Amino acid sequence: MRTRLALPFFAIACLALPLTLGCSGEDGAQGPEGKEGPEGPAGKDAVGSPSISAVTPSSAFLGRSVDVVISGNGTTWDAATTVDFGADITVKNLVVASPTAIVATLDVGNTVVGAHDIKIGTLEYKGGFKTISAVKLNAQGKLAQGSVAVVDAQQLDFTTPYDTSYTGDGFFTPIVYTGVEIPEITGVTTDIGSVEPYNVSFTAYIDVKAPAGDNDLDIISGPAGNQTHNIFPKGMSITAREATELVAGTPATGSLTTPWESALYRLTPTAGLKLLEVTASSKSSDATPAFMMLPASGAFADAIGFAQTLSFANTAADPYYLVFLDGYGATGYDYELSANLIDVPNNATEAASNDDSATAQALTALPYLVYEASLSSATDEDWFKYTATAADVGKKLLIQTMGADGSTDTVVAAFESDGTSSLGESDDSGYHEALTTDAIPAAGDIYIKVFASDYFSTSHKKYELYVRLK
């Protein structure tokens, strides 16, 4: 009985675990192929609707050429595809690298700063590309009518540094930056003070009658034929402002609160020959108060002078403009600006011939004003003579050259009655000169000589002579 039960159990085990126990037969023949199942539902597209997905780089500086790669999604771009980057950008060259990639060369103009919409066929990428000025401005002082401002033009495009070429040594000859120029803006005179690879510093002199409004600023860098324009659209925005009336005999007061801040005044003298004297002053020891004096044109190109004090003969009732500022840009102090009209009853125009002590023009009584005088050449000398009285002995003469042409470069000297013993000579530290003589040693003739400085130019030869006792 036990033997009969064991066999069926073993057979069942072999059917259930053929691999485990090693019990197996040969594979049977392959059965027939089954019927094809029903068609499944349609799948979704691998990509969405066509679009512009990216532009690299996504920005460019004004006035530059740049290669950009445009990527698409689900696009079918080909040789007939057109590309538009908007106003003032020209697509110079276009290569369709694939149905989803375009390489374009762009010429970026100089007038539009900001976002541009990109259009490729019927597709549009809003604000997909930006244009940027390569110049960032930092101005100290007012960009206003009748003002002076110091401006730094920082170069943002590090691939095109400014051309720092210059001539001169800054000692015997002035430094002139030949690699950079600033095209003229109506009513604005610019003077380049320094050029570094990534910064140009210049002074802007804005005429009283310069048109108010926005002006494009261009910093042109590089040698002729290979110049780069660095334009800042509307970078020089000139504000309109009215001049404050300055009345002779009544000082005007004000204060400076920011570096290179300026104030504009207008002075209208009365007609008739008078000595006009204008003075800027301050009680602050840190101040260098000064003013630029302009004639009725209000143009800096016609400037009479830049000083703390200016004096000259005036005959007409034409206005003058005074641009007050600190000579070194100092700030935080109060100032006073005053003008006076002084009667000088003893006056005359320059004599026709007064080229030596023997023909010296007589100054009959002091103070004395000689006007409409001039040096005809670098070797011309003008001689004048004052006859000192006994009451003048021990006193000194104050001798000044002055005039509406602030660039006439003179030197003055004084001599005793022999015409050779010196009573002093000016130090030629500026254009017009002021000399306080030694004490008058005795009654008799005192001679005064006005002659040309070594830096004299015949394009600036007019002067006036004012002599008084001190």
Q: List the chain domain ranges.
A: 51-132, 135-238, 244-342, 347-469
pLDDT at 28: 61
The residues near 38 (Cβ < 8 Å, ≥ 6 apart) are none
What is this structure's pTM? Answer: 0.78
Q: Which residues of the chain fall short of a pLDDT of 50?
A: 1-24, 43, 45-46
CATH topology of domain 244-342: Jelly Rolls (2.60.120)
Pair type for strands 180-181 and 176-177: unpaired
CA–CA gap between residue 185 and residue 234 (Å, rounded)? 11
pLDDT at 361: 97
Q: What is the CATH number of domain 347-469?
A: 2.60.120.380
The residues near 289 (Cβ < 8 Å, ≥ 6 apart) are 280, 281, 282, 308, 324, 326, 327, 335, 336, 337
Q: Which CATH superfamily is domain 51-132 in?
A: Immunoglobulins (2.60.40.10)
CA–CA gap between residue 127 and residue 131 (Å, rounded)? 10
Domain 135-238 class?
Answer: mainly beta
pLDDT at 41: 60
Q: What are phi and psi of 357, to 5 degrees?
A: -65, -30
User: Do the domains spanning 244-342 and 347-469 agree at the CATH topology level?
Assistant: yes
CA–CA gap between residue 272 and residue 64 (Å, rounded)? 60
